[in-house]
Amino acid sequence: MTVTNLRPNIDHWQERVDMAATFRWTVRLNMHEGVANHFSLAVNDDGTQFLMNPNQMHFSRVTASNLLLLDANDPEVMNQPGAPDPTAWGLHGSIHRLCPQARCVMHVHSVFATVLASLEDSNLPPIDQNTATFYNRYVIDEEFGGLAFESEGERCASMLSDLKKKVMIMGNHGVLVIGDNPGDTFNRLYYFERAAETYIRALQTQKPLRVLSDEIAEKTARELEDYPGQAEAHIREIKAVLDAEGSDYAS
């Protein structure tokens, strides 16, 4: 029996359920930072109202009902009870205020993406299908300015103007991924971490890389963008596994 409709009286319930599932699965994959890092999801037309995880709550305890509902244009957010983490507000609030195309934003310090972000050259060459997924579809931030308070968040938001590029490799920091909804965004986050792992492990062999041509890399990226239903199936199956295990994510 599915548990995804127990609290339909709370606004944006299905969006909350999908978001909560991605937090739980991020823990399952050990891509989390305990009580740090944040995911957010816009819930109004212009993207300025958004759901986000509570301040200092472990990803494994996030549920559909305890997600915060915030307004990026509200100057009093940080002065109210239950205020979000200030760096989360600085980064996610700025992106939702300035980048309406970023409906969902996921930022993590996952191991392989962060290793990539720590290299002098943080480019991800197309050496397999997963790495080719991101060919010419990421931006590298090479101006890390410390914790992502509001000015740093606004600077990061300014780098997301190219609609084709939905991944930011945050130099000396981690990775930030945007998308249309939780399933789309988490799918992209998952495969970016897999792609980064493939590349880092290939570098560890110290042997020459077999790099795809620009033509084939772009063709592969376009084919994967057009591949039907993968992100939808991914989030559906994550929720199915959590439901079967009796998880309380959808409570």
pLDDT, tens only, 86-114? 999 999 999 999 999 999 999 999 999 99
- Cα distances from 205 to residues 110, 121, 193, 198, 199, in angstroms, run 21, 18, 19, 11, 10
**CATH classification of 13-244, choosing from 3.40.50.1700, 3.40.225.10, 3.60.21.10, 3.30.365.10?**
3.40.225.10
Give the pLDDT confidence score for residue 149 in this predicted structure.
Answer: 67
Look-up: residue for tokens 């310090």?
109
Confidence of residue 1 (pLDDT cuts 50, 70, 90): very low
Report the percentage of the chain scoring pLDDT > 90: 89
Confidence of residue 72 (pLDDT cuts 50, 70, 90): very high
Query: Torsions phi, psi of 18, nearest 5?
Result: -65, -40
Which tokens belong to 173? 């920091």
pLDDT tens for residues 33-48? 999 999 999 999 999 9
State how far the Cα of 202 lies from the Cα of 207, in Å rounded to an integer.
8
Lowest mean pLDDT among 64-73, 144-153, 201-210: 144-153
Confidence of residue 6 (pLDDT cuts 50, 70, 90): low
Report the percentage of the chain scoring pLDDT > 70: 95
* Pairing of β 38-42 and β 138-141: unpaired
The residues spanned by each domain of the chain are 13-244
pTM, 2 dp: 0.94
243 within 8 A of 4, measured Cβ to Cβ: yes
Q: Please return the burial class of 80, using the count of CB atoms within 10 Å of its CB with bins 0-12, 13-18 and 19+.
A: exposed
Q: Please return the burial class of 105, using the count of CB atoms within 10 Å of its CB with bins 0-12, 13-18 and 19+.
A: buried
Torsion angle defined by CA atoms of residues 200, 177, 191 and 15, in that order, rounded to the nearest 10 degrees: 150
Average pLDDT on 176-199 reads: 98
Q: What is the Rg, in whole angstroms, of the alpha carbon atoms belonging to the chain?
A: 18
Give the pLDDT confidence score for residue 2 in this predicted structure.
Answer: 41
Give the pLDDT confidence score for residue 108 in this predicted structure.
Answer: 98
Give the pLDDT confidence score for residue 3 in this predicted structure.
Answer: 44
Give the pLDDT confidence score for residue 208 in this predicted structure.
Answer: 98
Centre a 10 Å sphere on the Cβ of residue 129 and count the other Cβ atoms it contains. Answer: 17
Name the strand (E) or helix (H) holding 73: none
- Cα distances from 179 to residues 1, 14, 50, 84, 206, in angstroms, run 29, 17, 14, 22, 34
State how far the Cα of 221 lies from the Cα of 213, in Å rounded to an integer.
12
Q: Is residue 171 classed as helix, strand or coil in its secondary structure?
A: coil
In this structure, which amino acid lies at residue 171?
Answer: G
> Which of 234 and 7 is assigned the larger pLDDT?
234
Instruction: Give yes or no for residue 150 having a pLDDT over 80.
Output: no
- Cα distances from 239 to residues 70, 193, 247, in angstroms, run 25, 20, 9
